[in-house]
Amino acid sequence: MTQKILAHAAGLNEVKAGQLIEANLDLVLGNDITSPVAIKEMEKMKVQGVFDKDKIALVPDHFVPNKDIKSAEHCKCVREFARRNEITNYFEVGEMGIEHALLPEKGLTVAGDVIIGADSHTCTYGALGAFSTGVGSTDMAAGMATGKAWFKVPSAIRFHLTGKPSKWVSGKDVILHIIGMIGVDGALYKSMEFVGDGIANLSMDDRFTIANMAIEAGGKNGIFPVDDITEAYMREHSSRTYKKYEADTDAEYDEEYTIDLSELRPTVSFPHLPENTHTIDEIKKMDDIMIDQVVIGSCTNGRLDDLRIAAEVLQGRQIHKGIRCIVIPATQDIYMQAMEEGLLKTFLQAGAVISTPTCGPCLGGYMGVLAAGERCVSTTNRNFVGRMGHVESEVYLASPAVAAASAITGKISSPYELD
């Protein structure tokens, strides 16, 4: 699928793995951390304006609302650049969200697109059948100036998903299982292609989560075929024309794996790499892992389905004494829908706090930074040393269901234990 999309974007009949191409871009993305660097690079290039003011998206989402003077200066730089260049898709505080949840919601990403973003989790949009990948700020600058980018065409790994996940098993468990299976470099610079009848049993929010964490296996991108669920989502959110690409039946893959979704169990990634995974059944046999904080949110798991699942677990229950539970809806619209459905009331009654949309604690920014010796169960995507704060803190990656259950018990737990 990825090779076909890239061939079309490069104006070629076909491309081969390892081939260097120059491709036309449908969208260039930047945030409040990476965009200022790209803007300064553009100034060095002495280019006048951007290639297309409608095909650039600037989303201040990491340190907003601004947490300090430096973050305020970064956002001011992006804001003024957007004004000067009349960028159509600049999203100010109050209308913004976490970039990788916001852009599909706003209809800016559709099947067949070629998208680069100066953020590693730009691979999220592969859930819609697009080719999207993270790049450095210099590449972002070149993309904003020219509307083009150089790529080395990736080879591919195919994952056949079959069956239907059990209750409390979500897209987060699927991708953590895969990363645990192949390792953090198991798909290095490869396209992770997800196919099979099991995809029909995954919601769009599940697919966004899986594609989002392709980078955590080293992948260049993750990508799903376009089915009825994908098309319904795009019709609801976008007026743009999309193009479906399907892999040839004789397409070559470096490896192929078959995963029965019905056999998966809630999975947790232990410090300090996403590949260090254990199922909830394995964890039950260990000594209790006591925790200090739970974070439910991020570009990985801050969508409406995620909040619904967490609220279902927390409904009528109380967060464990001494545990901090922080819930972060990924966009303003998700925040609003969660409010209208009563999810926010459930969180507040359980003893959680609710933040405005922000990446916040995921990268150790704010709204939940950890002190030395503290442990956090988080629905985010990385648990590297010092990722959420002090280098002596620990981050355990989990699904919203496991995170919510752990907030109730004060230790890493599954929702099955609460039944």
290, 380: one domain: yes
pLDDT at residue 418 above 90?
no
Give pLDDT, residue 160: 97
256, 286: one domain: no
CATH number for the domain that contains residue 332: 3.30.499.10
124, 101: one domain: yes
Q: Domain tally for the chain?
A: 2
User: Are residues 32 and 78 in contact, defined by beta-carbon separation less than 8 angstroms?
Assistant: yes
20, 135: one domain: yes
284 in a domain, yes or no? Answer: yes
395, 354: one domain: yes
User: Are residues 106 and 237 in contact, defined by beta-carbon separation less than 8 angstroms?
Assistant: yes
For range 168-183, the mean pLDDT: 97
- Angle at Cα 71 formed by Cα 65 and Cα 77, nearest 5°? 105
387 in a domain, yes or no? Answer: yes
Tens digit of pLDDT for each residue in 311-361? 999 999 999 999 999 999 999 999 999 999 999 999 999 999 999 999 999
pLDDT at residue 293 above 80?
yes
Please name the helix (run of DSSP H) or strand (run of DSSP E) that holds residue 31, with its range, or none: strand 27-31
245 in a domain, yes or no? Answer: no
246 in a domain, yes or no? Answer: no
Higher pLDDT, 46 or 77: 77
- The residue out of 216, 231, 260 marking a domain boundary is 260
Name the burial class of residue 179, with classes exposed (0-12), middle (13-18) and buried (19+) by CB atoms within 10 angstroms of its CB.
buried
- Closest C-alpha to 129, from 293, 245, 256: 245
273, 255: one domain: no
- The residue out of 198, 229, 260 marking a domain boundary is 260
Give pLDDT, residue 47: 86
255, 276: one domain: no
158, 80: one domain: yes
125 in a domain, yes or no? Answer: yes
Tokens (6 digits) for 360? 């916040």
> What gap in Å lies between CA 47 and CA 45, rounded to an integer?
5
Give pLDDT, residue 230: 97
Residues 6+ apart with CB under 8 A from 386: 364, 393
29 in a domain, yes or no? Answer: yes
Q: Return the number of other C-beta atoms located less than 10 Å from residue 286's C-beta.
A: 10
Give pLDDT, residue 48: 84
Across the chain, mean pLDDT equals 96
178, 40: one domain: yes
Residue 268's pLDDT band (cuts 50, 70, 90): very high
Q: Residue for token digits 């989560």?
A: 209
Give pLDDT, residue 182: 96
8, 151: one domain: yes
Please name the helix (run of DSSP H) or strand (run of DSSP E) that holds residue 284, with its range, or none: helix 280-284
- Closest C-alpha to 153, from 3, 10, 12: 3
- The residue out of 260, 289, 304 marking a domain boundary is 260
Phi and psi at residue 259, to the nearest 5° = -125, 120
Tens digit of pLDDT for each residue in 77-119? 999 999 999 999 999 998 889 999 999 999 999 999 999 999 9
> What gap in Å lies between CA 223 and CA 241, rounded to an integer?
19
Tens digit of pLDDT for each residue in 213-238? 999 999 999 999 999 999 999 999 99
User: Are residues 58 and 106 in contact, defined by beta-carbon separation less than 8 angstroms?
Assistant: no
Instruction: Give whole-number Cα distances, 132 to 69, 179, 192, 269, 358, in Å.
Output: 32, 19, 12, 25, 22
201, 276: one domain: no
Torsion of CA 164, 169, 170, 174, to 10 degrees: -80
> What gap in Å lies between CA 393 and CA 383, rounded to an integer?
10
Q: Is 74 strand, coil or helix? A: helix
Residues in a beta bridge with 325: 294
> What gap in Å lies between CA 47 and CA 49, rounded to an integer?
6
234, 357: one domain: no
123 in a domain, yes or no? Answer: yes
pLDDT at residue 419 above 80?
no
Per the structure, the complete domain to which residue 152 belongs is given by 2-240+251-260
**Which of 118-127, 333-342, 361-370 is predicted least confidently?**
361-370
Give pLDDT, residue 46: 86
